[in-house]
Structures are given as C-alpha cells and as structure tokens.
Structure 1
Amino acid sequence: MKGEVAADHVIVASGSSDALSMCFGALCDDGDNILLPAPFFAHYDTICSYYNIQTRFYHCNHEKDWEIDFDHLRSLVDGRTKAILMNNPSNPCGSNFSRQHIADLIRVCEELHLPLIADEIYAGLVFSGETFTSVADFDTPVPLFVVSGLSKRFNVPGYRFGWVVVVDRDGYGAKLLKRGAKNGHPYSDAQLALATCCRECP
C-alpha cells in the first residue's frame, strides 16, 4: 500500500456487503447516482435501492478480459454522480485487471473528480501466474474506499467480518468514518479471530 493509512481510517463492518453499504450511504444523498460495472454483483443494486441511489452501468468489454470502456463510463457522469465502483477480481466475470488498467481507471477518476470504491473481496484469488493489484497500491489524490473481508479468501462467510480502508489525502472520507464509528460492529469472536491471525500468521 503506497499511502500511509492510520488505524482510524480502517472501519470494520458486519461483512463486506455492510462495508459497501457504509460507503454508498456516506457518499450519496437521496437521488444521487453511482457508476457500477455491467455485468455486476446483484447486491449493489439492492444497496442502491435502499438509499434511493440511481444506478448507472458502465460497459465492460468481454473481448478484452472485461476491461472497462472508459468512454462509455465518462458518458454516464453528470452533476449528481458521486462515485465509481470497481469490482476486482470480478464477480461474476472472473477477470483480474492489469496494473496498467487500474492505473488508467484512477486517472479517469482524477479527471472526473470522483472517488473510487474498490470492491476487493476476492483479492488474491487469481489464476496461477497472475498477480492481483490493489487500488491502494497507487499514490493518488482521489479518495479510495477499499472494501474487503474474511469470507472469500479465508473461507469463513459465516463470520460476517468486513472492512473499509480509506486512503484519502484530504480528509474526504470523514463522513464515512463518522458513520462507521456508529454502525460498524461485527461480532466479537470474528474480531478476536482476525486479531489472532494478524499476530500469529506469516
């Protein structure tokens, strides 16, 4: 991770879906819109419906390993667009973006002055010979909300333990941090298990 991340910029949640809900609710007001990939994980739409957030779907090109069509993405932006969401590695496509493609996406976010929510719940789960790259590995003024959890990589979906890492030079994530402090309460056994893993696992 390129940037320094303070402990209070890591917000725990009751699973990655809860972490995503924190991000959507913090960044968007009623009637705002968010840009989502198509094809997409269906629960994104459920969260947006709960907050009355309009969903706008940008194309991903199946002939280019599901890379984002940046021209189409740009065409969806208006004054009420509040964030772009990227899911990498992708569910349902199974794609794993190259480092260059992620760098290109971050440049587009900088150009559009939009924060990036990175759903990285499948981080590290890639085919042999491939390398996973996190958005947090880039130095950028764009606020990054990096979402992950225990369920996929550690095969413990019932633990319902997720988190958001806020990588943000200018304090844009303060609203999210305040919301997370009120609502992020995964159960204590999961917190203890994660703390033990961090101390004892290589």
Structure 2
Amino acid sequence: MSKIIIKPAERTDNIKYAVRDIVVIANEAAKSGKEMLYLNIGDPNLFDWQTPRILIEETYKAMLNNYNGYAPSSGIKSAVDAIEKEAERKGIKNVQDIFITTGASEAIDICLTALVNEGENILTPTPGYPLYTAIQSKLKMYENPYYLNEENNWQPDIEDIKRKINDKTRAIIIINPNNPTGALYSKEILEELIELAIKHNLVIFSDEIYDKLIIDDKEHISIASLNSEAPVITFGGLSKNYMAPGFRIGWGIVSGNRTVLNDYIEAINKLLRARLSANHPEQYGIAPALLGDQSHLQEAKEKLKKRRDMTVEMLNAIEGISCVSPEGAFYAFPKLKFVKDDYKWAKELIKAEGVVTVPGSGFGQVEGTSHFRIVFLPPENVLDKAYNAIRRFMQTYEE
C-alpha cells in the first residue's frame, strides 16, 4: 500500500523564526560536550533575573480561589482598568478599547488578521522582530519592508517609508525600543510617522513591550501620546518589563478617532470572542505589576547598562565588527564588516566556540550587509567569555 503524503498549507512555506531555528544547530553542537554560551533568546528567566514576587503570589492566589475557568474575552476588569491607568501614564488619550491576550504576540496576530486582506501589505521594520513576517506569510500579504538607518542609531528611514507606501498598504509597524537593534525612537521621527499614517489612512501598530527597559535614563515616548486622533494600537505585556515571559500575558490599547476605528474594533473583538480568552489566573498579576512597586526596574536598568556597555566596548574592539550602542531593551545588532553570509558565520561560530547568536538575515537587513543579534541578558562573566570567543573566532574565520 503506497503512502499518502499530507501536504501542509502553502501559507506556511515562508514562515521562519531565526531565534529558535538556530537552536537546532546549537543542540547538535551541545551533544559533543562543548560548553555552550546562549546569547540568542530574550528570556530573562534563563539568567539572573527574577519575576517580581507579587505577580507570582497574586496568580497563585487566583488559582486557589478557583479562577481557573474562562476569563472574559477582553480580560478581567481589574486588569483592564490597570492597563487603562497605564495608558494614562504613557500619555495616551482617546482610548477606544483595551484587550488582554496570550502574550503580545497574540494581540499582534489578532489585530493584523482583523485588518489586512490577502494581497495587501503592511510596512514592517527591517531589521525587525520575525513574528511580523511570519504572520504576514500566514495571511498571504506581500512583503513591504522599510529600513532602519544604522548610520542614524537605527532610526526608521522616513524617506524609505515614503517610497514604500502604496494603495495596498494598510498599516505601519514600529517596535520601540526596537528588537533586534535596541534603538529608541526620537520624538521627531515618531511625529513624522504619525503624519504619514494620517495622510495615507494607515493604522499604526506600536510594539512597546520593552518601554520600561530604557538605558541611560532616556525618555520613552509612546507614539499614541503624540496625537489623540491617529489610529494607533499600542502593544504591551508582562514578559519583558516584569520578567514573566512564561505567563503569556500581553495586551493591546486602541486609541484614536472612534468613527474611523469603530468597524475595526468590532472585527478585533469578533476574533477575541472566537478564541474565548487569554490565560485567566495570570491576569490577576497585571494590576499589581502595573500599579505596584516598580523598584525592580531600577535594578534591571542598572544591570542592563553594565552589560550593554561591556557588549559595545568589547565588540567594537574586535576587528571586523562594529556595534551601535542600544538605548533600550536588551539586544544589540552588531555589523560584520567583511562577512557575506551571516547565517554561515553564526553556524560556524556555534561549532567552533559554542557561542549561540542569531544571524541578522533572520531579522532582515539592508541588502549586501551582514549582522548578528546579541542578547546581553547573561551575567558579565558569561558575556566576557562569549565575546572573547567571538574575538578568537574572527581572527581565523574565512568564508
């Protein structure tokens, strides 16, 4: 009897996730007994970072109180109210809807699904987080990347964005602070983005999941705070600022002109109702997280500053590598000056030194350039060992 091959859906053909795909190669290298240094996944809990205890206690209490069934589709009231106060803190006015999701990634997926038809496009930052291009493939949108300017501290290239907007463009994505570059966007750039969005009737998706992890005491500006009429969805969550990625709790804040947004908000809520609810007990951690003691953030920023400074200094000292200093989050996106194939470089680095980074091609980059992403969450002794290993590797690497 001949075997029948089950063919997967074509929408999965171009879905890649470089952050975890590289782990397959790392797992093979680890089998040899080599010491592995993982700088690839932005999970604080893998290193010396702790979830604030109040989040754990409130979630545990909710479980003991049997809040283990379905939650309301948009989230429990105490959590939604806390997110509304968070929107006020960020300066966001004219809030039209708030909803809680299974991580910010589900919020992004739902909002894109509710907006974009097959054959249309969204402007995605390049480099940028690969979730957006994965959803793009799933929804059969066509690619429309815009570049971040490495020569201008990885700020969005406004002129490139203007060239890329067409009659099929529905939205523009910003990630601020950016993953993978750690760039923090200026007020002037954000205002120009709003102007373009209003002119071309685009929804702005603002991924602000790292908004409280700003280094050097610089100010994070939420784009929605700059214009109360512009259609903006601001994404946040507990995973990064509150060191709880495993809680899978995120949210979206819809702001702007109600008349413009009304039908779109209902479409979002149709999808929210269809998937029932986000994790229930973990939602009881939202209010104490957002409204309670924030002292863990100061400690986190002090640790990140030391590790950021060490990263930039040591990588810039390596011949063939240059690194723009990140201003937020916990990523850097160094440039490989004389490397043509950054995937091959990252793979050979794993095999030779056990250092796991993510090739820049997995995030998108200007054609003809090569980069890699570093996560500088690990302790200084681990980073020191990893960067010295990269230095040794660069001294002998040939394509």
Q: Aligned letter for 1:18?
A: E
Q: Once superposed, which parts of structure 1, at least 4 consecutive aligned residues long, lie more than 6 Å away?
A: none
Q: Is residue 165 of structure 2 the alignment partner of residue 73 of structure 1?
A: no
Q: TM-score, normalised by structure 2?
A: 0.48
Higher strand proportion (structure 1 or 2): 1
Change (3 A) 1:3 1:184: farther
- Residue-by-residue CA offset, 1:52-110 (whole Å, 9 max, x unaligned): 12221111111111111112111112221110001100000110011222112111212
Q: Name the structure 2 match of 1:192.
A: 284
Q: Matched residues in 2 for 1:184 and 1:119: separation?
A: 23
Give the C-alpha shift of residue 182 in structure 1. Answer: 3.3
Q: Specify every segment of 5 or more residues in structure 2 that has no aligned partner in the other structure, as ranges.
A: 1-90, 295-399
Give the C-alpha shift of residue 139 in structure 1. Answer: 2.1
Change (3 A) 1:184 1:144: farther
Between the two proteins, what is the percent identity of the paired residues? 27
Higher alpha-carbon deviation: 173-182 or 148-157:
173-182
Change (3 A) 1:199 1:98: closer
Q: Matched residues in 2 for 1:63 and 1:197: separation?
A: 37
Q: How does 1:84-103 map to 2 (within 5 A)?
A: 84-103=172-191
Q: Is residue 169 of structure 2 the alignment partner of residue 169 of structure 1?
A: no
Q: Matched residues in 2 for 1:128 and 1:177: separation?
A: 39
Give the C-alpha shift of residue 184 in structure 1. Answer: 6.2
Q: Matched residues in 1 for 2:240 and 2:291: separation?
A: 20
Give the C-alpha shift of residue 199 in structure 1. Answer: 5.5
Change (3 A) 1:2 1:156: closer
Higher helix proportion (structure 1 or 2): 2
Q: TM-score, normalised by structure 1?
A: 0.91
- Report which of the two structures shows the higher radius of gyration computed on alpha carbons: 2
Q: Name the structure 2 match of 1:182.
A: 274
Q: Is residue 95 of structure 2 the alignment partner of residue 5 of structure 1?
A: yes
Q: How does 1:133-144 map to 2 (within 5 A)?
A: 133-144=221-232
Tell me the number of residue pairs that the alignment of Structure 1 and Structure 2 aligns: 200
Q: Helix, strand or coil: the match of 2:216? A: coil
2:213 to 111, 122, 125: 125
Higher alpha-carbon deviation: 94-103 or 150-159:
94-103
RMSD of Structure 2 on Structure 1 (CA): 1.7
Q: Matched residues in 2 for 1:193 and 1:128: separation?
A: 28
Q: Name the structure 2 match of 1:153.
A: 241
Give the C-alpha shift of residue 152 in structure 1. Answer: 0.4
Change (3 A) 1:113 1:121: same
Change (3 A) 1:164 1:62: same
